[in-house]
Structure 1
């Protein structure tokens, strides 16, 4: 058993059953109240990613995949920022249905949404220039079953769905920069660490969130 397996206790947050139940509830709330639900890591996390894309002058028609899209709110913000080639995937049927309802409400019929397990992606899920992960890798690492193999499979899947030289923007609250680099270095190069909010305790500063940009090795 390696260091990360010892540190991460298995959790229901790593199971499909938990997310199916959560998004079924969010879907019902949306139908009744029109609320989209939680924004993982807050609005600043979305602003941070979009700011980087604009800084790099990524073409607005770049193909973008949002992994574990949940309610699809990140895709809404990307669309509002002018990006036109957007796809969101989630292994929860209820999450995809919720995000479809939200896209309809927002008038964004061009955003593609589909049920996919990123650990076993379909053949058609490929060729993306940009993949965004905002907490999905974190959830995978909390799965109670064979988590070390799932981590390796996740990296392989990303390598498969991205085109050569494509970019991965990953946000995590469980992993440090060094730990993420170790997980992804076989197939990805670290390009940049994005600034995130810091906290101070006992006279020491640290970050509760890590946001990195990787580029796939060609």
Structure 2
């Protein structure tokens, strides 16, 4: 689900306030939480790519990819690490990971048009060894296992906006994530809807907080906050 810039479709995350303690029901449901919306988005991007070779926009912008790659370098993630891109969208981050030397890459998305687009983009980059699957992360039936790193840039945000059963969807997401990760495997999430405190609360079971990655900050009304939150967790049993 990688379709927007860093500020598009996002709620600003204001930290150091009582707003950090707001419940998961504070966000109204949105079409951004529906499969139909994303299928339409990626069908249009697929047609554009076939016409002019434009891969479309990058969720959270190119800086979000650079930020993650810098962390992976500092964490000394090996090039053969099994990496899962949850909600791969147009596959742009898979391309960047491959360019960076990572060789064991898998991307999933529940949108058939997204998967076709990502495969076309990877083929154009001569990256035939990258795996892309049409799969709903919330209903993967245990098919995803043994990953050293799971990366999410916006997918959990979209699930949180689903008009139907979004609370159940968030619970299914956490369980699918724990099933997919190896013991001591890393989970890297970038969110524009949830604050650090809210994400810590949501992913406290079976995951250990490692660090927060620096993102641009802003000041408004005497408060300091971030439009984007990027956190790293580790799987623990």
TM over 0.5: yes
1:3 aligns with 2:23: yes
Alpha-carbon offset, residue 205 of structure 1: 2.5
1:72 aligns with 2:91: yes
SS at match of 1:215: strand
Moved over 4 A (4+): none
**Contact in 1 for aligned 2:142/2:176 (Cα 8 Å):** no
Out of 29, 37, 40, the position equivalent to 2:48 is 29
**Contact in 1 for aligned 2:142/2:179 (Cα 8 Å):** no
Q: Which residue of 2 aligns with 1:124?
A: 143
Q: Which residue of 1 aligns with 2:130?
A: 111
Deviations 1:83-114 (A, max 9, x none): 01000000001000000000010110011000
TM-score for the superposition, normalised by structure 2 = 0.89
Q: Which residue of 1 aligns with 2:82?
A: 63
What residue ranges of structure 1 are gaps of 5+ in the alignment? none
**Contact in 2 for aligned 1:20/1:95 (Cα 8 Å):** yes
Alpha-carbon offset, residue 125 of structure 1: 1.7
Q: Which residue of 1 aligns with 2:11?
A: none
Alpha-carbon offset, residue 122 of structure 1: 4.0
Alpha-carbon offset, residue 202 of structure 1: 3.5
**Contact in 2 for aligned 1:116/1:122 (Cα 8 Å):** no
1:213 aligns with 2:213: no
Alpha-carbon offset, residue 203 of structure 1: 4.2
The aligned runs of 1:29-178 (5 Å cut-off) are 29-178=48-197
Alpha-carbon offset, residue 200 of structure 1: 2.4
Query: How many pairs align?
Result: 216
TM-score for the superposition, normalised by structure 1 = 0.97
The aligned runs of 1:177-196 (5 Å cut-off) are 177-196=196-215
**Contact in 1 for aligned 2:154/2:192 (Cα 8 Å):** yes
CA distance in 1, matches of 2:177, 2:52: 36
**Contact in 2 for aligned 1:133/1:171 (Cα 8 Å):** yes
Larger RCO: Structure 1 or Structure 2 (Cα < 8 Å, ≥ 6 residues apart)?
2
Aligned alpha-carbon RMSD (Å) = 1.1
Alpha-carbon offset, residue 70 of structure 1: 0.2
**Contact in 2 for aligned 1:155/1:187 (Cα 8 Å):** no
**Contact in 2 for aligned 1:64/1:129 (Cα 8 Å):** yes
Q: Which residue of 2 aligns with 1:17?
A: 36
1:204 aligns with 2:223: yes
